Amino acid sequence: MLDDFFVRALFAGIGMAAVAGPLGCFIVWRRLAYYGDTLAHAALLGVALAFLLEINVTLAVFAVALFVSLALLALERRAGLSSDALLGILSHSALALGLVVISTMAWLRVDLMGLLFGDILSVSRIDVALIWIGGAAVLAVLALIWRPLFAATVSPELAEAEGMNVTKANFIFMVLMAVVIAIAMKVVGVLLITAMLVIPAATARRFATGPEQMAILAAIFGVVSVCLGLGASRLWDPQSGPAIVVAALCLFVLSLSPLARLVDRRRTARANDAREEGFRP
């Protein structure tokens, strides 16, 4: 029989992976991995402010991540710097500010390893419910904005020409990212959140023949990574958060194997045949 804490960890990890996968596809398509890192580092500042102001940690992390996203939009218009330079400034500044704020609270005893690398085995029933409810809301909103957001990813100019509100879709995407960062922090930690957004999506890209299929496969690979990582943690006792990311990395490496490439070619050939059938009179 599995222990209660392990079952809670499993449900929390599956809920997080199911949400991170589809959102991670847009991170990969838009080449925004550094943006994910920036929000993840901002999460530590949110945790520090939560302890300082004695407010809910998840709410504080969400607020700080959203503030950083809006700050990036504002600075892109006024600072005259490239996006990667601005992301570097915001990312490292938020991480440093978080550490400074924590260090000034001498009375506070914080598990920095848990914050940085997650502590999924300590999640409560409330945490699991928050992950699943928040994740379901994120997926529902993502489904509503999928078309304009994907169109803006492919060509913002063409999306605007077709009457789509690109600015609104991008803003909602940033809000969804802030929500995912907030609910995923306890599962894999500040430093590993981006890995769970990027690696399963990158693995899914090797096999998918369309954007929707890639989103579904990314969620599946994320869930498999969680199951393998927690299983390894139970058997050999490594830290759970890093074990989950290592499992995701192993799946990505396997996707590069000759057998996986053969499967990829066959799937691509079948997809091309299906497209040709669709164009035949």
- Please state the domain extents for the chain: 4-279
pTM of the predicted model, to two decimals? 0.87
Tell whether the model's pLDDT for residue 240 goes beyond 50. yes
76-84 contacts, C-beta under 8 A, 24 or more apart = 84/34
pLDDT category, 268, cuts 50, 70, 90?
low
- Which of 246, 218, 219 is closest to 230 using CA atoms? 246
Distance of CA 175 to the CA centre of its chain: 12
Q: Among positive and negative, which fits the CA dihedral 46, 52, 53, 54?
A: positive
Number of Cα atoms under 13 Å in the Cβ half of residue 142: 25
pLDDT category, 239, cuts 50, 70, 90?
confident
- What pLDDT, on the 0 to 100 scale, is given for residue 107? 73
Q: Supply the CATH classification number for the domain 4-279.
A: 1.10.3470.10
| Rounded Cα gap, residues 222 and 48, in angstroms | 29
- Which of 118, 70, 113 is closest to 245 using CA atoms? 118
| Rounded Cα gap, residues 101 and 42, in angstroms | 13
Tell whether the model's pLDDT for residue 124 goes beyond 60. yes
| Rounded Cα gap, residues 142 and 173, in angstroms | 8
48 class by beta-carbon count within 10 Å (0-12 exposed, 13-18 middle, 19+ buried):
buried
State the amino acid at position 92 in one-letter form: H
State the amino acid at position 45 in one-letter form: L
